[in-house]
Amino acid sequence: MNKSLHAWVRPPSRNFAHALSEHPKATSIRLKKARQQHTAYCKALKTAGLFVEVLEPLDAFPDSVFIEDNAVILEGRAVLCSMKETSRRGEISFLSEALQSHLPMVGLQAPVFIDGGDVLQTEDTVFVGQSHRTNKEALAALQSLTSKPVIPVAVQQGLHLKTSVSTLGKNLLVINPFQVETEPFRDLEWIEVDAEEAYAANCLSVGEHVILPDGFPKLEQRIQAHGFSTLPVDMSEFQKADGGVTCLSLLIEV
């Protein structure tokens, strides 16, 4: 049976403005605009060739729009994350209900703490950010579930590893070298992000398309120079909530 790539998304809930964030403009999140931006993001996913599965908003969980953090798709299984932030832990059960008929699932438990935004998978390696959301116990937990090497990466600034590093496939990365340890990526090719365009380091590659935040022309041109078609989307309200492009979807082969 031929499988197709689906993007699972969860729209912003009515309490999205209360999402966890250290962004200086966190108190100015506009829900109506966030919902409009999410709709445009879903349109970009479809343009990139993905089937989009829209789950119900979760009003009890302001951060639930950032569905990537809930699970890691690893070797045909959904690894349900054990989240350090107590206000987010209840999101996992709702995702497991949605996924149970599509993928086998494995649940992680404390003392393992991990957010999906700290897991970057390339063709040969699983890189795991060591951030304030993901601990060293997560390394062994993931290594027990994959034959690929699991490599720690120190997150020096920013929320997650994927805040500063994205994969475009074919061992090509987009990276902000000012915020993460770069030595683990020494054998890969990089597209570097200038400091003033740091937010755009989080982008989503789907085949020959790359979805990235709007308003970062230098990085967009560098990505295009590698033969990709770019799909810029307005992310201002999600940026205020410390979220990026990849955070808004969970990609699954169905």
Tell me the mean pLDDT in the region 207-234: 98
- Residue 170 is classified by DSSP as T
Task: Report yes or no on whether pTM surpasses 0.85.
Answer: yes
Written as six digits, the tokens of 244 are: 């990026």
With CA atoms as reference, report the closest residue to 59 among 16, 93, 9: 16
What distance in Å separates the CA atoms of residue 10 and residue 196, rounded to the nearest whole number?
A: 30
Among candidate residues 177, 157, 154, the one with its CA nearest the CA of residue 165: 177
Domain boundaries, the chain: 5-253
Q: Are 154 and 179 in contact (CB under 8 A)?
A: no
Which one-letter amino acid corresponds to residue 63?
A: D
Residue 254's pLDDT is 85
Question: Residue 1 pLDDT more than 70?
Answer: no
**Marked catalytic residue, from 42, 81, 203, 247:** 247
pLDDT tens sequence across 9-35: 999 999 999 999 999 999 999 999 999
With beta carbons less than 8 A apart as the criterion, state whether 252 and 103 touch: yes
Return the closest-CA partner of residue 244 out of 229, 252, 234, 254.
234
Alpha helices in 112-235 (DSSP H): 137-143, 217-224
CA angle (81 as vertex; 79, 83 as ends), nearest 5: 175
Instruction: Report the C-alpha gap between 152 and 168 in whole angstroms.
Output: 20
247 is known as an active-site residue: yes
Amino acid at 200: A
The CATH class, in words, for 5-253 is alpha beta
The proportion of the chain whose per-residue pLDDT surpasses 70, expressed as a percent, equals 99
Residue 2 pLDDT greater than 80, yes or no: no
pLDDT at position 3 is 74
The reply to whether 160 belongs to the active site is yes
Catalytic residue among 6, 38, 160, 203: 160
